[in-house]
């Protein structure tokens, strides 16, 4: 027990150090962790870590999916729902079919059922890797929305393909109409259970007053409850977590107060950071365990098989993304209101197609392939499936991840100017809110403004904020150098305040609680500052 605890603590410490190094080197964190884990695995004396797939499916997957759903914009998800559903279901099924027929043709003794099993494993891209890379470069919001939305539900479709293919291999039979019926039952059953369970938690949050700590604890309990409830009734736990997460996220202002939202966001960010870091470094550490089981194959053979299948997966995604764009253009010319973007062009599909890095779900699915069949015989080609999966993850994550910024720069995609910039939207919203607040104050609290100097000061502050926000909105046409210089000065002023607070802490006249509150206020103030524009 102590050794396990020490290993977990060492892993967390290693992740923290590697993340800091990766940030200094400006390498996307998932890519750097996988490479680091791979290199560490070859160090003599390093303990061999065998990952239990149930650990990933049960411990890691629910909170990661729930957090992704929580921070997904439902408005953007619904706006791009057609392209998201097409990629998350159509592309996954198309990839699974392509991998199934190609691998059964390429690899001697590899049956079509095993091909579908492999296709279900390696078909879903990993959103964490893609968004981690894309956040470091200037990518239009619409592409981020599509990629994040796809990643929410493609795990469900791939796991359903995997489940049916595994059942076919174990039983030796496959009935198409039963598989289709079960697919819809598993999918919509998971959605129904997710909404039902989240409705119960909504009622608890809404009508049973609870302290902030209890409220945050409930947000951690919910994703596991959603997943376990759906799996108990043999439905999709992934769809249950996603649907429940989207529902609860849409009700966040109703069920959580400001303290709960601030504190839960910070805690969730830390937990998800640790879980993602652990998964990506474990991917790299798994190579020696996988390599040990490749008896009967030469290294040249398995690398060749894995390389060709990886190339197929990359090409299929690119072709499918371009085909989807063409189909969208045709539908848009016939039914203009049926699609959000009637002319996506070729640049956006290239970026979406290249952002197909594989990750945690593929690894967990491959590891969950049983060791034996129902008759006790060894599961056919299990070790080869594991190795191919690992190579697909490694190549797509490292090669595509490192080259994705270059692809974005080369295609020079610019979204249609149909919306204001984020800064302009924030300033415009702030102005409208200040107008509403001042009108409300004048209409309902006129006597208080005249008789209560505190209320009068509140009105003066809001009027001052209104003038400053208007000036800021008008200044957004400044050149890049002026904006960056302005942000630098504001940051420097905030740091000067922090240094003053540090000296105040050493004096007896100020309580630590008050100083901590001021530090939190400065943190929020700095958070509002734009990142430098390049």
Task: With beta carbons less than 8 A apart as the criterion, state whether 267 and 349 touch.
Answer: no
pLDDT tops 50 at residue 534: no
pLDDT tops 90 at residue 196: yes
Same domain, 156 and 95: yes
Select from 317, 316, 306 the least CA-distant residue to 393.
306
Same domain, 456 and 489: no
417 within domain boundaries: no
- φ, ψ for residue 85 (rounded to 5)? -65, -40
- State what percent of residues in the chain have pLDDT above 70: 82
Cα–Cα dist 186/237, whole Å = 9
**Which residue reads 């085909």 in tokens?**
323
Assign 3-class secondary structure to 184-234: HHHHHHHHHHHHHHHHHHHHHHHHCCCCHHHHHHHHHHHHHHHHHHHHHCC
Residue-wise pLDDT tens digits, 322-354: 887 666 665 555 555 555 555 666 777 888 888
Residue-wise pLDDT tens digits, 279-295: 778 777 777 777 776 76
- Cβ burial 455-465 (10 Å sphere, 16+ → b, else e): beebbeeeeeb
Cα–Cα dist 90/112, whole Å = 20
Between 341 and 44, where is the model more confident? 44
Q: How does residue 211 score in pLDDT terms, banded at 50, 70 and 90?
A: confident
386-403 mean pLDDT: 87
Select from 6, 133, 140, 128 the least CA-distant residue to 64.
128
219 within domain boundaries: yes
Minimum mean pLDDT range among 91-100, 171-180, 413-422: 413-422
Q: How does residue 456 score in pLDDT terms, banded at 50, 70 and 90?
A: confident
Select from 82, 96, 143 the least CA-distant residue to 353.
143
pLDDT of residue 125: 85
Same domain, 253 and 402: yes
Encoded tokens for 64: 């990661």
Interacting residues of 10 by C-beta distance below 8 A, sequence separation 6+: none
pLDDT of residue 533: 45
pLDDT of residue 174: 62
Minimum mean pLDDT range among 30-39, 299-308, 517-526: 517-526
pLDDT tops 60 at residue 167: yes
11-28 mean pLDDT: 85
Task: With beta carbons less than 8 A apart as the criterion, state whether 401 and 31 touch.
Answer: yes
Domain end, chosen from 368, 386, 411, is at 411
420 within domain boundaries: no
Task: With beta carbons less than 8 A apart as the criterion, state whether 134 and 355 touch.
Answer: yes
Cα–Cα dist 213/296, whole Å = 55
The domain total for the chain is 3
97 within domain boundaries: yes
Which domain CATH number covers 265?
A: 1.20.1530.20
Same domain, 57 and 156: yes
The rounded mean pLDDT for the chain is: 79
493-500 mean pLDDT: 79
Residue-wise pLDDT tens digits, 238-263: 889 989 998 998 887 788 776 777 77
Beta partners for residue 378, in sequence order: 372
pLDDT tops 90 at residue 162: no
419 within domain boundaries: no
pLDDT of residue 288: 73
Same domain, 500 and 469: no
CA torsion through residues 175, 176, 178, 184, sign: positive
Same domain, 152 and 59: yes
- State what percent of residues in the chain have pLDDT above 90: 10
pLDDT of residue 230: 93
418 within domain boundaries: no
Between 142 and 116, where is the model more confident? 116
Same domain, 142 and 210: yes
Give the Å distances, CA to CA, from 251 to 83, 201, 254, 380: 25, 11, 5, 48
Same domain, 470 and 491: no
72 within domain boundaries: yes
Domain end, chosen from 411, 446, 469, is at 411
Select from 215, 283, 218 the least CA-distant residue to 244.
218
293-305 mean pLDDT: 79
For residues 398, 404, 407, 413, the Cα torsion angle rounded to the nearest 10 degrees is: 170
Geometric angle at alpha carbon 357, from 41 and 21, rounded to 5°: 50
Domain end, chosen from 438, 461, 477, is at 477
Q: How does residue 476 score in pLDDT terms, banded at 50, 70 and 90?
A: low
pLDDT tops 80 at residue 475: no
Assign 3-class secondary structure to 436-475: HHHHHHHHHCHHHHHHCHHHHHHHHHHHHHHHHHHHHHHH
* Of 4-8, 28-32, 473-477, 503-507, highest mean pLDDT: 28-32
Same domain, 310 and 403: yes
Task: With beta carbons less than 8 A apart as the criterion, state whether 190 and 197 touch.
Answer: no
Give Rg (Cα) of the chain.
Answer: 26
Interacting residues of 287 by C-beta distance below 8 A, sequence separation 6+: 38, 41, 390
Same domain, 363 and 467: no
Residue-wise pLDDT tens digits, 76-89: 788 788 788 888 88
Same domain, 458 and 490: no
pLDDT of residue 336: 54
362 within domain boundaries: yes
pLDDT of residue 327: 63
Enclosing domain of residue 472: 425-477
- φ, ψ for residue 29 (rounded to 5)? -60, -50
Q: How does residue 314 score in pLDDT terms, banded at 50, 70 and 90?
A: very high
pLDDT tops 70 at residue 527: no
Specify the pTM.
0.77
Same domain, 243 and 221: yes
Between 364 and 507, where is the model more confident? 364
């Amino acid at each position: 027990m102590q050794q396990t605890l020490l290993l977990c603590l060492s892993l967390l410490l290693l992740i923290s150090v590697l993340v800091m190094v990766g940030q200094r080197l400006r390498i996307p964190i998932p890519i750097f962790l996988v490479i680091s884990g791979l290199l560490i695995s070859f160090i003599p004396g390093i303990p061999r870590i065998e990952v239990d797939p149930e650990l990933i499916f049960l411990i890691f997957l629910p909170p990661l999916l729930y957090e992704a759903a929580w921070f997904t914009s439902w408005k953007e998800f619904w706006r791009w729902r057609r392209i998201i559903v097409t990629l998350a279901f159509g592309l996954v099924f198309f990839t699974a079919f392509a991998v199934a027929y190609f691998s059964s043709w390429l690899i001697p003794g590899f049956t079509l059922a095993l091909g579908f099993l492999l296709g279900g494993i390696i078909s879903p891209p990993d959103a964490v890797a893609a968004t981690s890379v894309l956040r470091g470069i200037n990518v239009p919001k619409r592409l981020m929305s599509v990629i994040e939305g796809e990643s929410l539900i493609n795990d469900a479709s791939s796991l359903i393909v995997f489940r049916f293919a595994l059942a076919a291999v174990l039983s030796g039979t496959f009935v198409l109409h039963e598989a289709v019926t079960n697919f819809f039952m598993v999918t919509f059953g998971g959605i129904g259970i997710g909404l039902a369970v989240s409705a119960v938690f909504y009622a608890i949050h809404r009508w049973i007053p609870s302290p902030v700590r209890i409220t945050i604890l409930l947000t951690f309990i919910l994703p596991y409850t959603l997943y376990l409830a759906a799996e108990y009734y043999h439905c999709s736990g992934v769809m249950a977590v996603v649907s429940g997460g989207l529902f609860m996220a849409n009700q966040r202002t109703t069920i959580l107060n400001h303290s709960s939202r601030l504190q839960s966001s910070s805690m969730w960010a830390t937990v998800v950071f640790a879980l993602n870091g652990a998964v990506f470094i474990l991917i790299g550490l798994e190579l020696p365990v996988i390599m040990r089981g490749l008896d009967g194959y030469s290294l040249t053979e398995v690398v060749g098989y894995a390389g060709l299948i990886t190339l197929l997966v990359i090409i299929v995604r690119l072709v499918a993304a371009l085909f989807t764009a063409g189909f969208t253009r045709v539908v848009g010319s016939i039914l203009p209101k049926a699609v959000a973007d009637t002319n996506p062009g070729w640049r956006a599909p290239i970026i979406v197609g290249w952002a197909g890095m594989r990750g945690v779900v593929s690894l967990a699915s491959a590891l969950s392939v049983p060791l034996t069949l129902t008759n006790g015989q060894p599961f056919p080609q299990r070790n080869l499936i594991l190795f191919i999966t690992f190579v697909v993850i490694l190549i797509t994550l490292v090669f595509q991840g490192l080259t994705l910024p270059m692809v974005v720069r080369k295609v020079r995609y610019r979204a249609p100017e149909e919306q204001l910039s984020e800064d302009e939207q924030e300033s415009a919203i702030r102005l409208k809110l200040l107008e509403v607040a001042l009108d409300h104050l004048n209409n309902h609290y006129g006597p208080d403004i005249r008789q209560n100097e505190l209320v009068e000061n509140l009105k003066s502050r809001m009027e001052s904020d209104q003038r400053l926000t208007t000036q800021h909105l008008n200044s957004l046409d400044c050149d890049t150098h002026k904006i960056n210089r302005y942000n630098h000065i504001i940051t420097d002023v905030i740091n000067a305040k922090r240094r003053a607070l540090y000296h105040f802490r050493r004096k007896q006249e100020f309580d630590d609680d008050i100083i901590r509150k001021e530090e939190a206020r400065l943190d929020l103030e700095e958070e509002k500052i734009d990142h430098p524009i390049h």
